[in-house]
Amino acid sequence: MHPALAAVLRDGPFSVAELPPDVPRWLISNARRAGWILQVLPGVYVPAHAPVDLHRAAIVYTRDQGALSHTTALGVWGLREAAPGEPIHVVVHRGVRLRSTNRLVLHTRHVWPPTQVRAGLPVTAVAESLVDSWPAMAPVERPGPFFAAITGRLTTADRLAEAVSRSPHLAGRAALVDLVGRLAAGCHSPLEIFGADVVFAGLSGARRQVPVIAGGRRYYLDLYLSGERIDIELDGASWHSSAAQRENDMRRDAALAAQGILVVRFSYRRLVNEPRRVRAEVEEIITARRS
C-alpha cells in the first residue's frame, strides 16, 4: 500500500476532498478494488477491516462544519439508544453544499446552536438535542430522555425552556412546553406525572417534590399532604432493584417518621394497573389521619 494512503487510514474515516496532495486520487480506486477501504458516505472512506465509526465519518463528511444533533446527539449523551438502521443526524451551517443520504440526515441552521465536544466529536448541547428530537420520537418515548437528562444533571428546566423558545414552530410544541413546565415544577419521572394527573388528580392540598429536612438530610417528597403529614412515594419499575437502595429508602422513611410524617409507597405495577384502588386507599389513610 502507498505509504501516504496508509498514513491517512491510520486516522480512521477520511474524505477524498481533503486528502493531502501527496495522495494521488488513483490510489483510492486501487484501494477500493483491493478491498483495503470502504465508502460509507459520499466521498468518505474507512479502513475495510476496522470498526466503522459512522459518527466520526459524518463529521468528516461535513468537512468539520457540522455537529451531531437530534436523536444521534441523544445517543452520544447516553439518553437514548438508536434503533437498528436509524440514520445519523448532523446539523450544519446554512449554505453548506452537501446533501443528505439514506445513512445521514443534514439539518441546516441560520443561527448555530449551542454545541459541546463529547468523545472527541462536536455535538449539540443536551437541551438543544432534546428539543430537536421531540418531533422525531414517538409520544410514549418522549418524556424518558428529558427526565434522564434532568436527574442526571446534564441540563436544567431553564435551559430546556430557552431551547424551546428558539423553536417556535416545532411540531408538537404545546405538549413539549407542558412537559418542560412540569420539570420546572419538580417532576422527576413520567410516573410522577401519571400519578399526579391520573391517580391523584384533584387530591386536595397535595404538592409535588416538597423539600423536607429529616435526620440532618434534605429529602424531596414525591407528593406531600402537609395537613395530614402524609408523603406519597411513587416508586418506579426499578425500585427495590438493590439491597443498598432498599436500605436507603428504609432509613429515609424512618427519618421522616421521626418527624411525624407517614410514608406511603406505591409500586409502579399498582399505580398503573390499580389506579382506582390506590386512590381509594390514600383517601382512607387521609380520613384515618384526620381522625
Q: Is the dihedral of CA 201, 204, 207, 213 positive or negative?
A: negative
- The residue that leads in pLDDT, 184 or 193, is 184
Query: CA torsion, points 260, 261, 266, 268, in degrees to nearest 10?
Result: -150
Quote the pTM value. Answer: 0.73
Does 1.10.10 match the CATH number of domain 3-52? yes
| The predicted structure's pLDDT at residue 125 | 97
Which residue in 101, 14, 105 sits closest to 68, CA to CA? 105
Interval 207-222 mean pLDDT: 89
Q: Name the amino acid, one letter, at 46.
A: V
The more confidently predicted of residues 57 and 52 is 57
3-state SS assignment for residue 267: strand
Contact 63, 95 (CB under 8 A): no
In the CATH scheme, what architecture does the domain 190-290 have?
3-Layer(aba) Sandwich (3.40)
Domain boundaries defined on the chain:
3-52, 57-185, 190-290
Please give the average per-residue pLDDT across 118-140, as a whole number.
94
Q: Which of 201, 261, 193, 273 is nearest to 232 (CA)?
A: 261
Predicted local confidence at residue 42, as pLDDT: 93
At 39 the three-state DSSP class reads: strand
103-121 pLDDT tens trace: 999 999 988 999 999 989 9
Cell triple for residue 246?
Answer: 432498599
pLDDT of residue 241: 53
Greatest CA separation found in the chain? 89
Summarize pLDDT for 239-268 with one digit per residue, the tens. Answer: 445 677 788 889 999 999 999 999 999 988
Edge-to-edge strand order for the sheet containing 217-225? 206-214, 217-225, 230-235, 262-267
Whether pLDDT at 237 is above 60 = no
pLDDT at 272 over 90: no
Say what the pLDDT of residue 97 is: 87
Q: In the chain, pLDDT over 90 holds for what percent of residues?
A: 54
The pLDDT score that the predictor gives to residue 236 is 62
- Cβ-in-10-Å burial (0-12, 13-18, 19+) of 272 comes to middle
Q: Sorting pLDDT into bands at 50, 70 and 90, what band is 279? A: very high
**pLDDT for position 52:** 85
**Contacts of range 198-201, beta carbons closer than 8 Å, 24 or more positions apart:** 198/275, 199/271, 199/275, 199/278, 199/279, 200/232, 200/279, 200/282
